[in-house]
Amino acid sequence: MFESMPSLPADPILGLTVACRADTNPNKVDLGVGVYKNEAGVTPVLKAVKQAEAQYDASEASKAYLPAQGTEGFLAQVNDLVFGEGHSAVAAGRVATIQGTGGCGSLRVAAELIKRANSHAKIWISDPSWPNHASLLGSSGLDLAFYPYYDRDQQAIAFDQMMAALANTGPGDVVLVHACCHNPSGADLTTEQWQQLTDLALARGFTPFIDMAYQGFGDGLAIDAQGIRYMADKLPEVVVANSFSKNFGLYRERVGTISIVAQTASQADVVKGQMLNVARAIYSMPPSHGAAIVETILSNPELKSMWLSELDEMRDRILHLRQSLVKAIANTGCERDFSFIERQKGMFSFVGITPSQVEELKTAYSIYMVDSSRINICGLSSSNVAYVADAIASVVSK
Ligand code: LMR
């Protein structure tokens, strides 16, 4: 049965980790996969997580299955974090939230739900986007379309083109938007742009589907969720996939959530039942550990403030690294302006170089990044930023 299957190339993002690990150059730099790293190049377990784990381990009384939607305590904390305390849609019972398995699992369950609700729905994805969006959402059998998002000449959002493309949508369409820290460009919608997009959703009748994988990594927890909060208030329906991989550093625990904002509380109940039925047919029940840690931290004021300061520290470090890289490239005398990197948000930016220059950085300098020239800013450190800056300046100056 399997003999005729073709072998596939390595994943364009995950394959970089493998390639970099095998590289023996002591100066190698991994700017590939999006995981936070500290100054020592380590993805640490947060202190708040360690303490919550100790507390939770001591109190865990059973390994029986979790409720299929996750625990009520976890879901209440998540609704406050994502929508903000006392949000009108949550208070009205219009929000159905269930635990998911990381951001990917949550996106996939949401896609299967959309497919059930409307098998002809078309999902519009930003061009560019995280490559796995098309795989995850397309695998559910939904039609995909793409809207322009990033202007590579201006290194900024192509908002007018985006709005012009989305003006062609209608009620059967779903528009995937990144809540914050756009992956791969780092270019985020402003408050006014979120409002204009909301007006367009009302006018055209499309359903926004917001993917939030980096809450707290851009401007802070509230601003990073502003699009979700605003749209959930103004629109009849919104789909949200949320991940705790990055902001709690719980990557391998696979914890996230899916929230559907429905028109009424009774529709939200129906949708919740449908989501649980989708999940039952894929993985049945969610894993416990990651969600228990998130719940323990968010419901304990001391642990929560420890987590908030660790989150601030991660965000500040990213900002500092962005500034250092821009400065270090300018210090080489390079004529090209890279200051856009300082204005962008979150873990990623495009350097704005060609695939052959990306290849040259890899072969000549052992600097690894995605072919699109997306870099994970967190792979930089004070010890390699000058090396990376020199290498970039050298390939662009040829
Ligand atoms: C990334 O974009 O590098 C991360 O979201 C990790 C992944 O799964 O691709």
Residues with CB under 6 A from ligand 1: 13, 33-34, 130, 132, 183
Rounded distance between C-alpha atoms, residue 45 and residue 248, angstroms: 9
Q: Which of 130, 188, 194, 307 is catalytic?
A: 130
Q: Which residue's alpha carbon is at the smallest distance from atom 1 of ligand 1?
A: 34
246 is catalytic: yes
Chain centroid to Cα 243, Å, comes to 7
DSSP 282: T
Domain over 14-45+307-397 is classified CATH 3.90.1150.10: yes
The rounded Å distance from CA 387 to ligand 1 centre is 24
CB count within 10 Å of CB 265 equals: 13
Tell me what pLDDT residue 398 has. Answer: 81
Residues 6 or more apart from 41 whose CB is under 8 A from it?
379, 381
Q: Beta-carbon neighbour count of residue 86 at 10 Å? A: 8
| The pTM of the whole model exceeds 0.95 | yes
Is 130 labeled as catalytic in the residue annotation? yes
Alpha-carbon gap, residue 190 to 22, rounded angstroms: 41
Tokens of 17: 């980790």
Please give the ipTM for the structure prediction: 0.95
Note whether 313 and 91 are within 8 A (CB).
Answer: no
Check: CB of residue 317 under 8 Å from CB of residue 38.
yes
pLDDT tens, N- to C-terminus, the chain (398 residues): 999 999 999 899 999 999 999 999 999 999 999 999 999 999 999 999 999 999 999 999 999 999 999 999 999 999 999 999 999 999 999 999 999 999 999 999 999 999 999 999 999 999 999 999 999 999 999 999 999 999 999 999 999 999 999 999 999 999 999 999 999 999 999 999 999 999 999 999 999 999 999 999 999 999 999 999 999 999 999 999 999 999 999 999 999 999 999 999 999 999 999 999 999 999 999 999 999 999 999 999 999 999 999 999 999 999 999 999 999 999 999 999 999 999 999 999 999 999 999 999 999 999 999 999 999 999 999 999 999 999 999 999 98
Q: What architecture (CATH level 2) is domain 67-299?
A: 3-Layer(aba) Sandwich (3.40)
Give a three-class secondary structure readout of 86-102. CCHHHHCCCEEEEEECH
Backbone angles phi, psi at 211, to 5 degrees: -100, 115
| Domains of the chain, residue spans | 14-45+307-397, 67-299
Which atom belonging to ligand 1 lies closest to the Cα atom of 34?
3
Residues in CB range of 228: below 8 A, 6 or more apart: 82, 83, 179, 210, 212, 238, 240
Report the helix count and the strand count for the chain, using DSSP H and E: 16, 13
In angstroms, the CA 261 to CA 231 distance is 9
